[in-house]
Structure formats: C-alpha cells, structure tokens
Structure 1
C-alpha cells in the first residue's frame, strides 16, 4: 500500500507554486509531470516546486524534475525547488543535480527570485 500523495497548485501571474506531499516514485511521476505540463501550457513558465512535505523521491522523480527544468527554460522560464531535505536533498547532492536546479529554503524566497516586491503577493 502506498503512502498518501498529493499535488496542489497556486498561481501568481506566470508563476506556479506546486506543492508535493508524500512519496514521489515511479508510479506517481506522471501526476507531477501532468501538473507541470498544464502550468507550462497555461503560460505559467516560472515553476516553484515546494518539496517540504516530500518524504521520498526515486530516480524517476528526479528525472521528472530534470525534464521540466529544460521544458521551463525552453518556454522562457525556470524551475526552482524549495524545502528540499532528507532523501530528496541527498539524491540531489549525490547525483549533482542540485547544482542544476536552484534550491531555496522556502516558497517566499523562491517567489522573490521572480517578483522582488513581496507585498504584491501578500507575503
């Protein structure tokens, strides 16, 4: 039996904050890919993925993130991670992928990378 898994999204203009909760493994990567693809298709080219509640990530989860770094870049945007810790942080460090994807401590820090005026966001 799988642990609970959820993806939620919030939007700020052309920026999307996607929160991932639970275990991101081979069986769930397509759900994250679909959410990210939908954001890009809607013109939300700046992707912030909040992983603070992510408890596990396998190599396919990592591959999904890497694929969407490139897709966001080709669309004129970027992808950033927030709250990476535990298994995900170790995976990012060991594979060197952490050097390719900006990692912020929290969502508000990542949003400031796009929108320096926090007051406009209510942060």
Structure 2
C-alpha cells in the first residue's frame, strides 16, 4: 500500500501531519521531501497523526527521528499521536536502545496538540483543529420543473402593436394581400398555441441531464471505492508478511540490546 501524506498548518509554529498506508525503505523519500523545508521554516512543533499508518519499518522511523532531532535544535519537537501497537513497540525499543532523543507518544491528536503549549493552557492549534468540521461532499440540489400554469404559453403570431379589429374591405378586383390599408397580409396564418409537452420540454431536459450527471458521478465514485477495496484485499497478505518480518527483526534487535546491556560495564 503506498504512503499518503497530508500536511495541515495550524498557526505559525505547529504543523499537523496525517500519515496513511505504509512507511518503509521504498517510500522513505516521500516523507523526506515533505519534511525537507521544515528546518528552514518557523515551524517548531510537528504532530504526526499515525492512526491510519498500517506499517512502519526501522528505516521509515529513522526519518521521523531525524526530523525530531532537527526540531529539538530549534527548541521544538516531533510527537506521534494515535499510534498503533506495533509502532508504539518500535518507539519503545528505539528509546531503550539509545537511538537518539525519544519521541513522545500521545493517545490522540487533541492531547498532542494540547501538549505543545508550554504554560499548560489549551493551545491555539488545538482550538483550530476543533473548529475544522468534517464534512462529506454535498450533492448538488436539483430543482424540479415548474408547473405549466405558472408559465402560460403566449401566442406566437400576435404582435402587441397590432390589435385585433376590423380592417377596411379590399377594393374590387384587388388582392387582399396587397391592400394598402391592410396590416396583416392574407397569406400569413396565425399559428396555434404550443402544446403542453413542447412548453415543458426545456426544464425537463435540463433536469434529466442533471440527474444523468449525478448518477454518473455516483457510479464513478462507487467504481473507485471498489477498486480501492480490491487493492486493499490484494495487499493484505503482503502487509501481513512484512509485519511478520518486522516483528522478527524487532525481536532480533531486542536480543542484541539485551545482550549489550548484559555484557556492558556495570
């Protein structure tokens, strides 16, 4: 599963980093590129929301530790919130082995943001996060066609400047269409009123097109979700295999650390 990152600035000195997927040697550069400009920016605190991070190996964790060390030089730090048990165990093992400054772990993002305030008061970053409501994409409202009674059809052949009335009779032997006093020529025929189906066609077509587009968008969203579900199913076995290898490596590292502590000077 690829690594997904989302950076949310909260104030001038706090950055919230959402991580999802897997962090390992193959995609470590993605995290490195995202955090490259932090040492040169005013940001001093980085909160990593790792609730959706399914896998993290030693190489990926070292990138987080490197960012934590750079922030400590500026008087800040990097903390991890909502970490899963394997990641918590990895952090504990690295702290026991003395692999650099320990990274603090918090049970939730809100607790981690509150801890960024030195005087113990709720930080502005926590308030800003609480003010960001979660929302779903809204479906565009469709307005039904108005009844025909609200839009009476107008006759097409009648002009407002031409009142209906009697015209002088044409002269004997002269074509009625060429009579100088006649305003309406004889060959013209006043069309009848349009039918109700013709008058209602434009709004019905617009409504039908909007419904068709909405259905196509929903179908596309379902197809994307189905593809994501199939991809997750395919990568599940691979993720489990990687987790087992990581656990084996962690156990070996733990044995090495215990052996070093046992044989070291007392």
1:41 maps to 40
Following superposition of structure 1 onto structure 2, how do residues 1-123 of structure 1 map, counting pairs within 5 Å?
Answer: 3-13=1-11, 14-96=13-95, 100-115=102-117, 116-117=121-122, 120-121=127-128, 123=130
Q: Tell me the secondary structure at the aligned position of residue 11 of structure 1.
A: strand
Partner Cα distance (1:60, 1:32) in 2: 11
CA displacement at 1:122 relative to structure 2: 5.1
C-alpha contact (below 8 Å) 1:55/1:86 kept by paired residues: no
**Count, aligned residues:** 120
Q: CA RMSD in A?
A: 1.9
C-alpha contact (below 8 Å) 1:84/1:105 kept by paired residues: yes
Further displaced range: 40-49 or 65-74 = 40-49
C-alpha contact (below 8 Å) 2:80/2:106 kept by paired residues: yes
C-alpha contact (below 8 Å) 2:3/2:19 kept by paired residues: yes
User: Which structure dedicates a bigger proportion of its chain to strand?
Assistant: 1
Displaced runs of 4+ in structure 1, greater than 4 A? none
Summarize deviations over 1:54-103 as a string: whole Å, max 9, x none. 00011111111111111011122111001111321221223326x81110
CA displacement at 1:111 relative to structure 2: 0.8
C-alpha contact (below 8 Å) 1:16/1:48 kept by paired residues: yes
Residues 58 and 18 of structure 1, relative CA distance in 2, 3 Å threshold = same
Bigger Rg, which one: 2
Task: Give TM-score, length-normalised by structure 2.
Answer: 0.42
Partner Cα distance (1:122, 1:21) in 2: 19
Structure 1 gap ranges (5+)? none
User: Which structure dedicates a bigger proportion of its chain to helix?
Assistant: 2
C-alpha contact (below 8 Å) 2:81/2:108 kept by paired residues: yes
C-alpha contact (below 8 Å) 1:16/1:39 kept by paired residues: no
2:170 maps to none
CA displacement at 1:34 relative to structure 2: 2.0
Task: Give TM-score, length-normalised by structure 1.
Answer: 0.86
Partner Cα distance (2:108, 2:35) in 1: 19
